[in-house]
Amino acid sequence: MVAQFLRLKLRLLANTFRRSPIQIVGIAIGLFYGLGAAIVAVAGLIALRFVDTALAGSITVTLGALIVLGFLLVPLAFGVDDTLDPRAFSLFGISTTRLATALAVTALIGVPALVVAIIAVAQVVTWSRDPLAVVLAVIGAVVIVATCVLSARVTTSIAAFLLATRRAREITGLVALLIIVSLSPFAAILATVNWGRDGLRLLSSVAGVAGWTPLGAAWSAPAEAAAGAPGLAILKALIGIAFVLLLWVAWRGLVGWMLVTPQREARRRSYEGLGWFRLMPDTPAGAVAARSITYWLRDARYHTSLVAVPVAPLIFVVALAVAGVPWNILALIPVPAMCLFLSWSAHNDVAYDNSAVWLHIASNTDGRADRFGRLVPALIIGVPLVIVGAPICAGLFGDWAVLPSLIGVSFCLLFAGLGLSSVISARFPYPAVRPGDSPFAQPQASGTASGLIQSLSFFAAIVIALPPFGLAALGLAFGGGWNFGALLLGLVLGGAGLYFGVLWGGAIFTRRAPELLAFTLRN
């Protein structure tokens, strides 16, 4: 029966090359990158055969643990299209153990499994230093491949339950994106490490912890044997083997559960009343605002864009802290940065509507009402953010005299940025992810024009805020009335930018209504 499943998996793989030419090219590129990474890893592992045992062990254990972690988390975070789902065989009368075994063996056919198998075999060369290390490296190669394959099978099956609905996939992907982006500052921290002096010590610390976990135990066992610690080597090998057995039990249990459990379906939501339409004023702008607030609360595309609002200050603060900027100065960054990204998130709002923009056009909605109504959600978030966040940042800075300038700069970035977004979203919309699609999907057409529009809308708000920012810098250096000057100038420039941006954007929206409808229908 295992042979039948292997033939079925090979036939499925062969059928992937019968798709459109673009898909075939994508598959070939993925295969090329996977095998290229394997070749680089093999060359590195062979080179480690001739370096110090401690350095070779630190590198192999750290990278090996990351590989196993990837097999565990990637299917759980983003989901994987499982062509051989156990539930597809529920009517064939195959026993749970036989089906679990067959599906686990067929998982060895694929680019990820092939790459990890090549790397696992190559690490035997790294530890060909004494007989015990070689034996444990060979055993470890089998354990590593089994661990990666079973880890992927287990987490893929769990994801099949947890991520069965589109909403669950969107939320999980959003959380994964937030975690990945939040970890990006650590790359800046690692870039500051003096690897020539402290690199080996840092790698040794990481490998020392990972080697005692199921993720790195099988990688660490031959390293311990080569270092002259056979007792620790055998103990770590047993940890790796025990983890494989645990994964097998979990995999068999999941197969048995999936054979008798129907696929999860999304619950139908029922909404009563008018929602935000009841709370907003009975005006065209109020109706557009209610519709926009509903989008911001329910549409995963807006959620993905808003991830940048709290994360951006973290990246800025960590990067500048690594560069040596004092912490009290860094306390002034979060609120203005969040206002900037919040206002920028509305710069392509018309494209997000897709064909639904016809409601505004068919009802002859005034362009100014459309422009202002779309900004209400950002204002509801941004104004309290400045009122609450600015005093907190001023307190962390240690001098309440900077509070007026902080408020002025923040409101200028928020209001002027929203005014610019009103103009740009009506005059220069570019393709966005369609409603109902994954927020992580690639837009249908995206290129230099969209990048230029994004850059223009982002940096133009910064340029408008330069005058109050300059007064704030003078107030920071000399005190006195400069801080209140920054407050007054920031409110004036920001208010003017918002007012005239809504007027100008409204005129553009009214004039270009047919073109905007044609654009949204086409994209």
Is 417 part of a structural domain of the chain? yes
Residues 58 and 180 in one domain: yes
Q: Are 342 and 309 in contact (CB under 8 A)?
A: yes
Residues 427 and 462 in one domain: yes
Residue 333 sits at the vertex; the CA angle it makes with 329 and 335, to the nearest 5 degrees, is: 135
Is 179 part of a structural domain of the chain? yes
Residues 325 and 178 in one domain: no
Residues 102 and 242 in one domain: yes
Q: Are 172 and 163 in contact (CB under 8 A)?
A: yes
Task: Please tell me which of 25-34, 214-223, 450-459 the model is most confident about, judged by mean pLDDT.
Answer: 214-223
For 254-283, the pLDDT digits (tens) are: 888 887 776 655 555 665 667 788 888 888
* pLDDT value for 433: 73
Is 140 part of a structural domain of the chain? yes
Cβ contacts of 519 within 8 Å, gap of 6 or more: 351, 429
Is 386 part of a structural domain of the chain? yes
Residues 366 and 510 in one domain: yes
* 3-state SS, residue 82: coil
Q: What distance lies between CA 246 and its chain's CA centroid?
A: 30
d(CA 89, CA 99): 8
d(CA 151, CA 141): 15
Residues 233 and 89 in one domain: yes
C-alpha distances in angstroms, 349 versus 22, 45, 61, 292, 352? 30, 50, 47, 9, 5
* pLDDT value for 9: 74
What are the backbone dihedrals phi and psi of residue 331, each rounded to the nearest 5 degrees, phi first?
Answer: -65, -20
**What single-letter amino acid sits at 330?**
L
d(CA 311, CA 180): 10
Closest CA to 114 of 79, 166, 149: 149
d(CA 521, CA 523): 6
| Mean pLDDT, the chain, integer | 81
- Which uninterrupted H or E stretch holds 453? helix 448-464
Lowest mean pLDDT among 10-19, 266-275, 401-410: 266-275
Residues 227 and 333 in one domain: no
Residues 365 and 511 in one domain: yes
Residues 73 and 172 in one domain: yes
**How many CB atoms within 10 Å of residue 40?**
11
What are the backbone dihedrals phi and psi of residue 333, each rounded to the nearest 5 degrees, phi first?
Answer: -85, -40
As for how many domains the chain has, the answer is 2
Residues 216 and 296 in one domain: no
Is 472 part of a structural domain of the chain? yes
For 330-352, the pLDDT digits (tens) are: 888 889 999 998 998 888 888 88
* pLDDT value for 407: 93
Q: Which domain holds residue 145?
A: 51-184+209-259
**How many CB atoms within 10 Å of residue 36?**
11
Residues 249 and 342 in one domain: no
Q: Are 373 and 454 in contact (CB under 8 A)?
A: no
Question: Predicted confidence band at 447 (pLDDT cuts at 50, 70, 90)?
Answer: very low
Is 43 part of a structural domain of the chain? no
Q: Which of 230, 259, 288 is the endpoint of a domain?
A: 259
Q: Averaged over 185-209, what is the pLDDT? A: 65
Q: Which of 224, 259, 294 is the endpoint of a domain?
A: 259
d(CA 501, CA 350): 15
Place of tokens 């990351």: 66
Query: According to DSSP H, which parts of 127-229 are helical?
Result: 131-162, 166-191, 195-210, 217-226
- For a pLDDT cut of 70, what percent of the chain falls above it? 81
d(CA 19, CA 26): 11
Q: Averaged over 48-63, what is the pLDDT? A: 85
Asked whether residue 477 carries a pLDDT value surpassing 60, the answer given is yes
Residues 349 and 386 in one domain: yes
Concatenating the DSSP letter of every residue in 273-335 gives: S-THHHHS-SSHHHHHHHHHHHHHHH-HHHHHHHTHHHHHHHHHHHHHHHTT--HHHHTTSHH
Is 321 part of a structural domain of the chain? yes
Q: Are 399 and 481 in contact (CB under 8 A)?
A: no
* pLDDT value for 230: 86
Is 220 part of a structural domain of the chain? yes
Q: Which of 200, 230, 259 is the endpoint of a domain?
A: 259
d(CA 151, CA 159): 12
This prediction has a pTM of 0.62
Q: Are 505 and 371 in contact (CB under 8 A)?
A: yes
The tokens describing 148, both together, are 């990666």
The tokens describing 24, both together, are 């075939």
For 122-172, the pLDDT digits (tens) are: 888 888 878 888 899 899 899 999 999 998 888 888 777 666 555 555 555
